[in-house]
Structures are given as C-alpha cells and as structure tokens.
Amino acid sequence: MTDQRKRDASPAIELREASRAFGPVVALDRISLTISPGEFFALLGPSGSGKTTCLRLIAGFDHPDSGQVLLDGVDVTDIPPFERNVNTVFQDYALFPHMNVADNVAYGLRVRGVAAAERRKRALEMLDLVQLESFADRRSTQLSGGQKQRVALARALISQPKVLLLDEPLGALDLKLREEMQTELKSLQQRLGITFVFVTHDQGEALSMANRVAVFNAGRIEQLDTPRALYTRPKTAFVAGFVGSANVVESDLAERLTGRRQAFAIRPELIRIVTNGAPPADHVVTEGVLENILYHGASSRCHVRTGDGAVLAVAQAESGDAAALPAPGTRVRISWPRASAVPLE
C-alpha cells in the first residue's frame, strides 16, 4: 500500500495513551481515542475534566507529557500548530475590531502572502457559505454574537483544514441563538464533509450534533459512544447523571426493588405515577410521598421520596389538566418497566 493510500485509510485523529499534568493536577490520564474522517465528534465533560486539554493537544497548543498525537496517520506530537492541517474556533471569536468582516476572514491568507484579489474572492465564498456575504464590508464590532460566531467559522474554514476544532464556540450565545447555531453547525459540517471536534460542557449540544461523544471525567474518558447509546445505556453513575437527567438507585435499594444488589439508572420519563389500576406485570413498583411538582411546560417533574429515603424524579407528560397529578404530600405508587433499568459498573 502506498503512503497516500495509508493516509486515506487512517483515522483523521488518533490519540495514543496521551497524558498531561500541570504540577500535581493530572489533566489527562493515558487518553486513547480514534476519530474518523468526516465525523462530528464531541468532547463532553464538566469544567476541569480534561476535554479542553485534549483539544489543545490535537491543535498543537500544548504538548503531552507522554503518548502520541496522530493526524491522518502521521505522528504530529512534536509538530507546531501552524504546520498541522487543523484550525480552531474559540468561544471569544478573537476578531480584529479595526478590520472589516472580509478582511477578518481573509487574515490567514494575508499572512501566507496570498494576493489581495484572491483573498477577497475566497473570503466572499466563505461568507456566502455562512450566509454573511452581504456583511463583507462591515466592521466586526457591528455584528451580533451569532454573526461574529459565523465570521469566526468562515475564517477558520478559508484555509481548507482537514480538521476543525471548536472550543465551546456557542457558550457566549443566548439559549435561542445557541439552538439555532447548533442546527447551522451540523448542516455546515454535513455539507463540507470535514472532521469537526467540538468541546462542550452542555450535554444537549453534544447529543444533538455529534455522531459520537467522549464523556470526560477527572482526566479520563468514562464512556465513548453514540449519543443514543450514552443516553439509553450509560455505563457509570457519572455518565447517567451528566448526560441528561437520571435516577441512580444505589445497591441496597436496588436489591429490595429488583432482587439484584447492583446499582442501576432509570430515566425520569420512564417512571410513572400509578393513579389507578395495577401496573403491568413486568414493572417494578414502589411507594413513596410526592414531595413537590415542578412545571416545565411539556412535562412536570415530580419528586417522590421512598420509604428508604431515596428521592426519585418522575417526568409526567403534561395533560393540560392541573388536577391530573396528586397533590404534594400525597402517598403514591410509582412504577417503571423492569427492562428499562440500566445496570451500572
């Protein structure tokens, strides 16, 4: 096989046993992962979990203490950022306030000595891609947050990188605009077909956009899977609680309810308050006191305290009838399908 064919068959990104510590703090502990060409891959975790350090190793902004970073099958561990076919979009956009939008987008080409006419042509093409061509001659200070984010994307894409790294790029946007940009980013990645690596602490962003997600915790990957698998089959209590909302039932209560002394996770939307009749035979049933009800529009979140002292969240679909649920303080029965409880490691 020729070197070119080997590169074509190689992962877009590969980390092999990569570690990084800052003094006594271990930011990454022997991380290994493989990202395929054209994949939308998310690094998800709370602050300090190691996801941004992982992104910085891929970009070349930081160097692992041990292990390797490979791009297209080539070891780039010791190669500086400007020699890697990778670009990064940051949360703060880092646009030049004294330049117009087109010049901001074309800045990387200017540094490389590309002629002015060619820079302008390619900048307009990129702005058209992000639906901002008519803003080419405006100052960046005249743009909204969402527009600045798209300009930063266009600037990162103009050099045609094989990998685009996005470091919490939607964090500064309000909720509605963030949701709109999630759709735009996913659509853009699908049109371009290049590899996106997206760092976020927002599980909703990761689940809605990524093909696969690596969930980071304390410098390690707790689980790497598809969004659906992470939600329906979390392997650990941390993943169950961080990816969506879950009730984690500890081993003592699990044994009483199921006969098995193994902790499990159950999603609130799979639990029902039994208001009349008997639940199906394949359901686990327990009793408790309905402590409170939180209205969320499409559903209400109820908290039921069992006799063992555990508090289980129950998501009830909103029926439009305020009297459909028992009043707080009422003793209730709750049930869920036995097969829907996911055993945890």
User: Which backbone phi and psi does 232 adopt, to 5 degrees?
Assistant: -90, -25
What is the count of structural domains for the chain? Answer: 2
Q: Which of these three, 203, 236, 269, is where a domain ends?
A: 236
Would you give the DSSP letter of residue 76?
A: -
Q: Are residues 63 and 91 both part of a single domain?
A: yes
- Secondary structure (DSSP) of 211-234: SEEEEEETTEEEEEE-HHHHHHS-
**Alpha carbon 191 to its chain's center:** 20
- Identify the band that residue 1 occupies on the pLDDT scale cut at 50, 70 and 90: very low
Task: Establish if 242 belongs to a structural domain.
Answer: no
| CA–CA dist 209, 139 (Å, integer) | 31
Domain of 223 in residue numbering reads as 3-236
pLDDT digits (tens, 9 = 90+) for 33-53: 999 999 999 999 999 999 999
User: Quick one: which H or E segment has residue 238?
Assistant: helix 237-242
| CA–CA dist 310, 333 (Å, integer) | 14
What Å distances lie between residue 121 and 102, 112, 118, 259, CA to CA?
Answer: 9, 15, 5, 69
Q: Are residues 171 and 220 both part of a single domain?
A: yes
Token readout for 107 is 């800045």
- Identify the band that residue 321 occupies on the pLDDT scale cut at 50, 70 and 90: low
Q: Are residues 165 and 228 both part of a single domain?
A: yes
Q: Are residues 231 and 291 both part of a single domain?
A: no
pLDDT digits (tens, 9 = 90+) for 118-176: 999 999 999 998 889 999 999 988 888 888 888 998 999 998 899 999 998 887 778 88
Q: Are residues 260 and 210 both part of a single domain?
A: no
CATH of the domain at 197: 3.40.50.300
Q: Which of these three, 202, 236, 270, is where a domain ends?
A: 236
- Cβ 342 vs Cβ 232: under 8 Å: yes
Task: Establish if 226 belongs to a structural domain.
Answer: yes
Q: Are residues 143 and 179 both part of a single domain?
A: yes
Q: Are residues 34 and 72 both part of a single domain?
A: yes
User: Quick one: which H or E segment has residue 199?
Assistant: strand 195-200
Does the pLDDT value for residue 72 go beyond 80?
Answer: yes
pLDDT at 2: 47
Q: Which of these three, 212, 236, 260, is where a domain ends?
A: 236
pLDDT at 5: 47
Q: Are residues 200 and 304 both part of a single domain?
A: no
Token readout for 149 is 């984010």
Q: Are residues 113 and 144 both part of a single domain?
A: yes
| CA–CA dist 218, 309 (Å, integer) | 29
Q: Is the pTM of this model over 0.75?
A: yes
